[in-house]
Amino acid sequence: MGTAAKLASLVKLEHTIFALPFAYAGMVLGARAADVDITVAMVLWITAAMVGARTLAMGLNRVIDASIDARNPRTAGRELPTGLVSRSQVWLLCAASLVLLIVATFQLDEITRLLWPIPVALFVLYPYTKRFTWLCHLVLGLSIGLAPLGAWLAVGADGSDPVPYLLWLGIATWIGGFDVIYATEDVDFDRANGLNSLPARFGVGPALAMVRVAHAATIAAFGIAGSRSDLNPGFWVALVVAAGLLVWENSMVSADDLTRLDKAFFTINSYVGVVLGVGLMVGTI
């Protein structure tokens, strides 16, 4: 495996496809609200911005947490702890991703040229939050949840409209929730190493109960956004399907049984993102 392939594996480049539907949904809804036509250039530059942003976020997370990952048996086999890639290579990838993000924002609406430091600041902050607060899951959700808001603004839509902020909230609670589920694997390690997470702070059972509340907020936020956007029945069908998937996901894990965590986290959860993102776009047809 070449260096490029190793770096792509490190940042899980293939998972970018699960984030793109939300960016495209923000673009479609924003263009609809602003009554502007979506151009090929818009799609290409928003895609480039998303690829740059997500790669930067993952690269920063991996390089900042490299020493922690090396001590954790679950993550010790990752590319940095095992020496498959070097820190300098990951930092170079982060720099290239940042350049791609900035260049892309300068091809879109002027406001994106001013606001790009906000998501970058969250990308830098997130890896450190587990060192001092159990709200780290929310910070992750808020950083990734910026995708539809950024795309909404990128096409020149009104930044005072509540719809993109509702989508931001919905994604933040969805992603923050499944990150809590993921963190249940590391409870003992986190406690032994002074790291913070909801499961480590409150216990697995109470943390999973909070996930259910967060995911209920996800469906509520998307529902209100859909209602305010006057979307067609296609969106509401997708919302019902997503709600069912979240119920299924949450039913697969409990304080007494985490054996199906990988299926809940990596399989079902991926479907939730695609269903919601595509549903938002279908709802505008």
d(CA 94, CA 285): 37
pLDDT confidence of residue 263? 62
DSSP classification of residue 257: B
**For residues 199-203, average pLDDT:** 95
Is the pLDDT confidence value at 43 over 90? yes
Average of pLDDT values for 229-251? 94
Summary mean pLDDT of the chain: 92
User: Exposed, middle or buried by CB within 10 Å (0-12, 13-18, 19+), for 79?
Assistant: buried
Confidence of residue 153 (pLDDT cuts 50, 70, 90): very high
- At 254 the pLDDT is 78
Pick the more confident residue, 249 or 98.
98
Range 71-83 average pLDDT:
93
3-state helix, strand, coil in the chain (%, to 5): 75, 0, 25
First to last CA, the chain: 43
Q: Is pLDDT of 1 > 80?
A: no
pLDDT band at 264 (very low <50, low <70, confident <90, very high): low
Domain locations in the chain as residue ranges: 3-282
Per-residue model confidence (pLDDT) at position 123: 96
Q: In the CATH hierarchy, which top-level class contains the domain 3-282?
A: mainly alpha
pLDDT value for 9: 86
pLDDT at 209 over 80: yes
Give the Å distances, CA to CA, from 131 to 63, 141, 201: 15, 17, 12
